[in-house]
């Protein structure tokens, strides 16, 4: 390398160039000129590519809502003696309790949903995959012997080298992918969805050819049966559509010494309502921290006991702080509320058939956080491999939840993402694994009546090709709640 020095030699303004050798320590790398994209931008690019195409015209408004200020609800604390006074103050500011103000419309129940894609483009020979599966689960065909002979003969001929071929011809090598390129390819395949008969199919979640269990029915639910389980004690106050007023910080109740209400996403109340809690029931809350849904379930005043699990000690500290600020000390230290740091993926295998109701609010991409906050973002380049394992962890958590539930009990699976593989895809994969590997029968229950009762306050997905097994709350600037997906599952045996 050389550096150039310009010297003025005389008054005639003549220049002379003097070259001096100079050694640099190292060659400048190309990566130093490349500006790293923030995690939020990577998240937006991901959603634009994978979600934007599926939601089509609705995506721009949803994208805008994700980037806008979210709306909250105030869940009142029944342990405050001045509860009615706090409710009146919120009402004077335009708030109202939406839980007890339901309005039933029509149910979007669609009946049977198939787990099989046997008649799709996978059957290139025109045969049905199910017809090719024998009673023992192995593929069979009357012409297997003939086909094997033809294949063997063809393979032998392919190994012969023709005398006319040029042995010196160049054979280009296949492209070798780097580790980063392999991760990008795996993530693309994981999010690749195929639609067949208005169904969402995730090729990485489950085998498309299912032998004996190639469909399952969604258990219909009448409006009366659904709405009679709405808890009377649970009060969640929101503002009307288009009203972006913010709640004031919660007051400390002078008599009880506890905070008057808890602020949370109103869509997070829906999984609690879907659980159909009843008096003196036992509840398991997997992945309970930081405690919003645990708080909502306790405010129904229905569970006899509730077990709160989380594998993170730091997150469990936040849960304990929430309980301490809102509930009496003797209440949270009794056998009614149990807090435990444990791996929820294995908990159900050691505590089978133990709970009446189980909530599996699993870790997910957390769309709203991913597009607005760089801290602890799932789309950091260093977390790509971890992100690819997320769906497998969700499946194991749901299986653990079902095993911990008593036969006849209800499990609610919920996420806060729009991703179909992490929503319907995980539910389908877990159901197949439960049937084939664990000999446990479950059925998805219809949550249409519950969505219809609160359609006035939330924007629910109406595209069965994007979400068919559960309900999905879509963010909107007029009612900026969600995203929130929940699916109601009943364990049969």
- pLDDT > 80? residue 240: yes
- Flag whether 289 is marked binding: yes
| 397-412 confidence digits (pLDDT tens) | 999 999 999 999 999 9
Kindly give, in sequence order, each residue whose CB lies less than 8 Å from that of residue 415, ignoring residues fewer than 6 positions away: 361, 362, 364, 394, 422, 423, 484, 485
CA atoms within 13 A on the CB side of 225: 8
Q: What is the pLDDT of residue 37?
A: 85
Rounded CA-CA distance 393/396 in Å is 5
- Flag whether 310 is marked binding: yes
Q: What is the pLDDT of residue 22?
A: 61
- pLDDT > 50? residue 194: no
Q: Is 308 a catalytic residue?
A: no
**227 membership: H or E segment, kind and range:** helix 223-227
Maximum average pLDDT range among 99-108, 120-129, 238-247: 238-247
Is the sign of the CA dihedral 184, 187, 188, 189 positive or negative? positive
Kindly give, in sequence order, each residue whose CB lies less than 8 Å from that of residue 172, ignoring residues fewer than 6 positions away: none
Determine contact, residues 263/237, Cβ cutoff 8 Å. Answer: no
- Flag whether 479 is marked binding: no
| 124-171 confidence digits (pLDDT tens) | 443 443 333 343 333 344 444 444 444 444 444 444 545 555 555 555
Rounded CA-CA distance 214/217 in Å is 11
- Flag whether 292 is marked binding: yes
- pLDDT > 60? residue 279: yes
- Flag whether 360 is marked binding: no
Strands 471-473 and 355-361: unpaired
- Flag whether 291 is marked binding: yes
Selecting among 80, 364, 405, 416, the annotated active-site residue is 416
- Flag whether 220 is marked binding: no
| 360-397 confidence digits (pLDDT tens) | 999 999 999 999 999 989 999 888 888 889 999 999 99
Query: pLDDT band at 239, cuts 50/70/90?
Result: very high
- Percent of residues, the chain, with pLDDT higher than 70: 69
Query: pLDDT band at 217, cuts 50/70/90?
Result: low
Other beta carbons within 10 Å of 41: 13
Among 56-60, 85-89, 201-205, 342-346, whose mean pLDDT is lowest?
Answer: 201-205
| 13-40 confidence digits (pLDDT tens) | 555 555 566 665 666 665 556 667 899 9
- Flag whether 225 is marked binding: no
Q: What is the pLDDT of residue 184?
A: 55
- pLDDT > 80? residue 89: yes
Query: pLDDT band at 242, cuts 50/70/90?
Result: very high
Map out the domains of the chain with their CATH numbers.
58-114+213-491 (3.40.50.150)
């Amino acid at each position: 390398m050389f550096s150039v020095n310009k010297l003025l030699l005389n008054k005639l303004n003549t220049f002379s160039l003097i070259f001096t050798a100079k050694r640099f320590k190292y060659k400048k790398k190309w990566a130093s000129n490349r500006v790293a994209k923030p995690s939020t931008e990577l998240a937006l690019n991901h959603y634009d590519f994978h979600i934007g195409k599926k939601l089509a015209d609705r995506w721009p408004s949803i994208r805008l809502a994700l980037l806008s200020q979210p709306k909250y609800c105030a869940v009142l604390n029944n342990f405050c003696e001045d509860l009615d006074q706090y409710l009146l103050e919120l009402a004077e500011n335009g708030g109202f309790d939406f839980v007890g103000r339901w309005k039933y419309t029509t149910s979007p129940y669609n009946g049977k949903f198939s787990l099989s894609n046997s008649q799709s483009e996978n059957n290139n020979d025109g045969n049905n995959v199910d017809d090719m599966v024998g009673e023992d689960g192995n593929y069979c065909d009357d012409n297997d012997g003939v086909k094997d002979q033809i294949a063997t003969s063809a393979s032998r001929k392919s190994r012969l080298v023709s005398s006319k071929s040029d042995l010196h011809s160049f054979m280009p090598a296949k492209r070798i992918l780097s580790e980063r390129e392999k991760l990008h390819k795996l993530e693309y395949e994981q999010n690749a969805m195929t639609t067949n008969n208005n169904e969402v199919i995730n090729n990485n979640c489950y085998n498309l050819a299912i032998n004996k269990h190639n469909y399952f029915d969604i258990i219909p639910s009448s409006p009366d049966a659904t709405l009679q389980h709405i808890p009377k004690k649970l009060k969640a106050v929101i503002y009307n559509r288009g009203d972006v007023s913010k709640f004031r910080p919660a007051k400390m109740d002078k008599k009880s010494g506890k905070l008057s209400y808890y602020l949370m996403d109103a869509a997070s109340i829906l999984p609690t309502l879907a659980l159909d809690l009843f008096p003196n029931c036992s509840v398991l809350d997997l992945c309970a921290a930081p405690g919003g849904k645990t708080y909502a379930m306790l405010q129904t005043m229905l569970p006899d006991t509730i077990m709160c699990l989380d594998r993170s000690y730091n997150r469990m500290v936040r849960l304990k702080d929430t309980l301490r600020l809102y509930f009496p000390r003797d209440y949270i230290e009794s056998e009614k509320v149990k807090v435990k740091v444990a791996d929820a993926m294995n908990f159900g295998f050691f505590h089978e058939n133990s709970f009446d109701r189980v909530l599996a609010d699993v870790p997910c991409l957390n769309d709203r956080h991913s597009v607005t906050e760089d801290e602890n973002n799932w789309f950091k380049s260093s977390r790509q491999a971890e992100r690819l394992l997320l769906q497998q962890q969700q499946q194991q958590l749901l299986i653990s939840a079902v095993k911990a539930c008593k036969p006849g009990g209800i499990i609610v699976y919920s996420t806060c993402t729009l991703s179909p593989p992490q929503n319907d895809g995980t539910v389908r994969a877990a159901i197949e694994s439960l049937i084939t590997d664990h000999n446990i029968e479950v059925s998805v229950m219809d949550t249409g009546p519950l969505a219809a009762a609160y359609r006035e306050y939330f924007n629910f997905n109406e595209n069965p090709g994007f979400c068919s097994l559960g309900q999905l709350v879509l963010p909107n600037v007029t009612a900026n709640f969600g995203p929130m997906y929940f699916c109601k599952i009943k364990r049969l045996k």
